[in-house]
Amino acid sequence: MMKIAAFAALVGSAAAFAPAQTGKASTALNAFESELGAQPPLGFFDPLGLLDDADQERFDRLRYVEIKHGRIAQLAFLGQITTRGGIHLSGDIDYSGHSFDSYPNGLAALFGDDAIPGFGLGQILALIGGLELGIMKDSANGAAPGDFPGDLRNGWDFGWDKLSDQSKLSKRGIELNNGRAAMMGILGLMVHEQLGSNMPIIGQL
């Protein structure tokens, strides 16, 4: 089942490299070609036509989703290479004496005979839900609108307002590109894990 899911994800990602449609897509190109993220070498890249006849609100929504997925993917990718490098939390994961490093890495930690118990997975999902609803809130969840899509400061500054406009755009572009790379990276690791590949540095998946 996991191999089928990984294959489907790979096919879905390959669709992103399909030839772009012409016609109505030119309207979106004119509207959003100057937005952050439309940069060399691809420029404005929307091969699936998600922004055909879209307004600014839809663009901001899709940009927020892209940034959010990119942030999650960066954490996931770093988690993969960290644990596969032999670095785990010390101590036990439960009162039965099971240590953190006694569980497998990657998808095997969630699915399979040696996966963490369902109650442990439930705690992880509860933590994610708490962060989503209580801390990492956006305007859709009751927070004041941020300065840009993905701005989850919620009133905290963290030194952001002291930066120049050019520095802000640069840092936002860096995050966007790192998130895009991480989404492809974690997808590649998931696929190769199901294929049983032996990769440089990471080793046997």
Q: Answer yes or no: pTM beyond 0.95.
A: no
Question: In which band, very low, low, confident or very high, does the pLDDT at 25 lie, cut at 50, 70 and 90?
Answer: very low
Q: What is the mean pLDDT of residues 42-68?
A: 88
Q: Which of 12-21, 89-98, 130-139 has the lowest mean pLDDT?
A: 12-21
Task: Find where tokens 């060399």 sit.
Answer: 40
Separation of CA 2 from chain center: 19
* Residue 180 pLDDT: 94
Confidence of residue 205 (pLDDT cuts 50, 70, 90): low
Question: What's the full length of the chain, in residues?
Answer: 205
pLDDT, position 13: 46
Name the region of 127 (left: φ>0; alpha: ψ -120 to 50; beta: rest). Answer: alpha
Whether 76 shows a pLDDT value over 90: the answer reads yes
